[in-house]
Amino acid sequence: MTVTSTPTALEWSALDDKAVDTARLLAADAVQKVGNGHPGTAMSLAPVAYTLYQKVMTHDPADTDWAGRDRFVLSAGHSSLTQYIQLYLGGFGLELSDLEALRTWGSRTPGHPEYGHTSGIETTTGPLGQGISNAVGMAMATRRERGLFDPEAAPGESPFDHHVYVICSEGDLEEGVSGEASSIAGTQQLGNLVVIYDENQISIEDDTVIAFNEDVALRYEAYGWHVQTLDWRKPGEDYVEDVQGLYEAINAAKAVTDKPSFIRLRTIIGWPAPNKQGTGGSHGSALGEDEVRATKELMGFDPDQHFAVDDDVIRHTRDLVARGQAARAAWQEKFDAWAEANPENKALYDRMQERELPAGWEDVLPTFPADAKGVATRAASGKVLSALAPVMPELWGGSADLAGSNNTTPDGQPSFLPENRQSKKFSGGPYGRVLHFGIREHAMGAIMNGIASHGGTRVYGGTFFVFSDYMRPAVRLAALMKLPVTYVWTHDSVGVGEDGPTHQPIETLAAVRAIIGLDVVRPADANETAQAWAQILRNNDRPAALVLSRQNLPTVPRGTDGFADASMVAKGGYVLKDCEGVPQVILIGTGSEVQYCVAAQEKLAAEGIRARVVSMPCREWFDEQTDAYRDSVLPTEVHARVVVEAGIAQGWHSLIGNAGRTVSLDHYGASADGKLLFEKFGFTPEAVVGAAKDSL
Amino acid sequence: MTVTSTPTALEWSALDDKAVDTARLLAADAVQKVGNGHPGTAMSLAPVAYTLYQKVMTHDPADTDWAGRDRFVLSAGHSSLTQYIQLYLGGFGLELSDLEALRTWGSRTPGHPEYGHTSGIETTTGPLGQGISNAVGMAMATRRERGLFDPEAAPGESPFDHHVYVICSEGDLEEGVSGEASSIAGTQQLGNLVVIYDENQISIEDDTVIAFNEDVALRYEAYGWHVQTLDWRKPGEDYVEDVQGLYEAINAAKAVTDKPSFIRLRTIIGWPAPNKQGTGGSHGSALGEDEVRATKELMGFDPDQHFAVDDDVIRHTRDLVARGQAARAAWQEKFDAWAEANPENKALYDRMQERELPAGWEDVLPTFPADAKGVATRAASGKVLSALAPVMPELWGGSADLAGSNNTTPDGQPSFLPENRQSKKFSGGPYGRVLHFGIREHAMGAIMNGIASHGGTRVYGGTFFVFSDYMRPAVRLAALMKLPVTYVWTHDSVGVGEDGPTHQPIETLAAVRAIIGLDVVRPADANETAQAWAQILRNNDRPAALVLSRQNLPTVPRGTDGFADASMVAKGGYVLKDCEGVPQVILIGTGSEVQYCVAAQEKLAAEGIRARVVSMPCREWFDEQTDAYRDSVLPTEVHARVVVEAGIAQGWHSLIGNAGRTVSLDHYGASADGKLLFEKFGFTPEAVVGAAKDSL
A532 three-state secondary structure = helix
A581 in the same domain as A445: no
- Using one digit for the tens of pLDDT, what is the confidence trace for A52-77? 999 999 999 999 999 999 999 999 99
B115 in the same domain as B196: yes
Q: Identify whether A160 is part of a domain.
A: yes
A59 three-state secondary structure = coil
- Using one digit for the tens of pLDDT, what is the confidence trace for B95-146? 999 999 999 999 999 999 999 999 999 999 999 999 999 999 999 999 999 9
| Alpha carbon distance A475, A446 (integer Å) | 8
Q: What is the pLDDT of residue A6?
A: 37
B507 and A514 within 8 Å at the Cβ level: the answer is yes
| Alpha carbon distance B414, B344 (integer Å) | 21
- Taking CB atoms and an 8 Å cutoff, what residues of chain A touch B438? 174, 203, 208, 210-212
- Taking CB atoms and an 8 Å cutoff, what residues of chain A touch B439? 128, 170-171, 174-175, 203
B279 in the same domain as B238: yes
* Greatest Cα-to-Cα distance within chain A, rounded to the nearest angstrom: 91
- Taking CB atoms and an 8 Å cutoff, what residues of chain A touch B105? 670-673, 676-677, 680
Q: What is the pLDDT of residue B179?
A: 98
Q: Identify whether B245 is part of a domain.
A: yes
Write the ipTM: 0.98
Segment B601-622 mean pLDDT: 98
Q: Identify whether A344 is part of a domain.
A: no
Segment A532-557 mean pLDDT: 98
* Greatest Cα-to-Cα distance within chain B, rounded to the nearest angstrom: 91
Statement: residue A121 has pLDDT above 80: yes
Judged by average pLDDT, the poorest of A640-654, B147-161, B275-289 is: B275-289
Task: Name the residue facing A506 among B404, B502, B516 (closest C-beta).
Answer: B516
Judged by average pLDDT, the poorest of A279-283, B250-254, B367-371, B627-631 is: A279-283
β-bridge mates for residue B436, sequence order? B399
- Final residue belonging to a domain, choices A522, A554, A586: A554
- Using one digit for the tens of pLDDT, what is the confidence trace for A135-173? 999 999 999 999 999 999 999 999 999 999 999 999 999
Contacts of B161 (CB under 8 A, 6+ apart): B142, B146, B153, B155, B192
Selection from A6, A46, A56, A17 nearest residue A327 by Cα: A56
Q: What is the pLDDT of residue A442?
A: 98
Q: Identify whether A439 is part of a domain.
A: yes
- Residues A26, A99 contacting (CB under 8 angstroms): yes
Q: Residue A483, Cα to own-chain centre: how many angstroms? A: 7
Q: What is the pLDDT of residue B471?
A: 98
A582 in the same domain as A517: no
Q: Please tell me the total number of residues recorded for chain B in this structure.
A: 696
| Alpha carbon distance B243, A85 (integer Å) | 61
- Of A115, A175, A279, A468, which to mutate for an interface test with B (greatest number of B Cβ within 10 Å)? A175
* Catalytic residue IDs of B: 441
Q: What is the pLDDT of residue A528?
A: 98
Statement: residue B551 has pLDDT above 90: yes
Task: Name the residue facing B215 among A127, A129, A222 (closest C-beta).
Answer: A222
B84 in the same domain as B194: yes
Q: What is the pLDDT of residue A8?
A: 54
Segment B223-252 mean pLDDT: 96
Task: Name the residue facing A187 among B103, B203, B211 (closest C-beta).
Answer: B211
B377 in the same domain as B311: no
| Alpha carbon distance B70, B68 (integer Å) | 7
| Alpha carbon distance A136, B479 (integer Å) | 34
- Using one digit for the tens of pLDDT, what is the confidence trace for B585-602? 999 999 999 999 999 999
Statement: residue B333 has pLDDT above 50: yes
Q: Identify whether A9 is part of a domain.
A: no
Closest residue in chain B to residue A213, using alpha carbons only: B187
Which domain range does residue A615 map to? 572-695
B471 in the same domain as B373: yes
- Residues B327, B58 contacting (CB under 8 angstroms): yes
- Using one digit for the tens of pLDDT, what is the confidence trace for B628-647? 999 999 999 999 999 999 99
For the CA atoms of A44, A49, A52, A58, the dihedral, rounded to the nearest 10 degrees, stands at 180
- Taking CB atoms and an 8 Å cutoff, what residues of chain B touch A208? 438
| Alpha carbon distance B397, B113 (integer Å) | 27
One-character DSSP codes across B133-175: HHHHHHHHHHHHHHHHH-TTSPTT-STT---EEEEEEHHHHHS
A596 in the same domain as A516: no
- Of A499, A636, A662, which to mutate for an interface test with B (greatest number of B Cβ within 10 Å)? A499
B649 and A648 within 8 Å at the Cβ level: the answer is no
Q: Identify whether A251 is part of a domain.
A: yes
Model confidence band, residue A281 (pLDDT cutoffs 50, 70, 90): confident
Statement: residue B2 has pLDDT above 50: no
Q: Residue B633, Cα to own-chain centre: how many angstroms? A: 34
Q: Residue B118, Cα to own-chain centre: how many angstroms? A: 17
Q: Tell me whether strands B395-399 and B458-464 are parallel, antiparallel or unpaired.
A: parallel
Segment A168-191 mean pLDDT: 98
B426 and A180 within 8 Å at the Cβ level: the answer is no
Q: What is the least distance, in Å, from the CA of A442 to any CA of chain B?
A: 8
B469 and A476 within 8 Å at the Cβ level: the answer is yes
- pLDDT cut 90: percent of chain B above it: 97
A624 in the same domain as A536: no
Task: Name the residue facing A215 among B103, B222, B423 (closest C-beta).
Answer: B222
- C-alpha dist (Å) from residue A380 to A366, A556, A593: 9, 14, 17
Q: What is the pLDDT of residue A13?
A: 97
- Residues B138, B71 contacting (CB under 8 angstroms): yes
- Taking CB atoms and an 8 Å cutoff, what residues of chain B touch A219? 218-219, 222-223
B379 three-state secondary structure = helix
| Alpha carbon distance A42, A32 (integer Å) | 13
Selection from B161, B125, B117 nearest residue B143 by Cα: B161
Q: What is the pLDDT of residue B8?
A: 54
Task: For residue A639, count CB atoms less than 10 angstroms from its CB and return exposed for 0-12, middle for 13-18, buried for 19 or more.
Answer: middle
A420 in the same domain as A305: no
CATH for A550: 3.40.50.970
Selection from B680, B673, B638, B668 nearest residue B655 by Cα: B638
CATH for A601: 3.40.50.920
- Residues A150, A159 contacting (CB under 8 angstroms): yes
Segment B329-337 mean pLDDT: 97
B593 in the same domain as B528: no
Q: What is the pLDDT of residue A578?
A: 98
- Residues A120, A93 contacting (CB under 8 angstroms): yes
Closest residue in chain A to residue B648, using alpha carbons only: A514
Contacts of A444 (CB under 8 A, 6+ apart): A400, A437, A461, A463, A471, A474
| Alpha carbon distance B229, B248 (integer Å) | 12
Segment A619-646 mean pLDDT: 98
Statement: residue B1 has pLDDT above 60: no
- Residues B27, B42 contacting (CB under 8 angstroms): yes
Model confidence band, residue A9 (pLDDT cutoffs 50, 70, 90): confident
- C-alpha dist (Å) from residue A350 to A360, A361, A455, A456, B604: 17, 17, 11, 9, 59
| Alpha carbon distance B576, B562 (integer Å) | 8
A113 in the same domain as A58: yes
Model confidence band, residue A235 (pLDDT cutoffs 50, 70, 90): confident
Q: Identify whether A564 is part of a domain.
A: no
Statement: residue A264 has pLDDT above 50: yes
Residue A686 appears among annotated catalytic residues: no
- Residues A133, A139 contacting (CB under 8 angstroms): no
Helices A468-481, A441-454: inter-axial angle, 10-degree rounding: 20
Q: Tell me whether strands A552-555 and A544-548 are parallel, antiparallel or unpaired.
A: unpaired
Q: Identify whether A279 is part of a domain.
A: no
Closest residue in chain A to residue B224, using alpha carbons only: A214
- Residues A132, A172 contacting (CB under 8 angstroms): yes
Q: How many domains does chain B have?
A: 3
Order of strands, sheet of A544-548, starting from the edge strand that comes earlier in the sequence: A428-429, A415-416, A434-436, A395-399, A458-464, A486-490, A544-548, A519-521
Task: Name the residue facing B440 among A174, A280, A507 (closest C-beta).
Answer: A174
B658 and A654 within 8 Å at the Cβ level: the answer is no
Q: E strands within B556-686?
A: 574-577, 585-589, 611-615, 641-644, 661-663
Q: E strands within A150-285?
A: 164-169, 193-199, 202-203, 206-207, 226-231, 261-266
- pLDDT cut 70: percent of chain A above it: 99
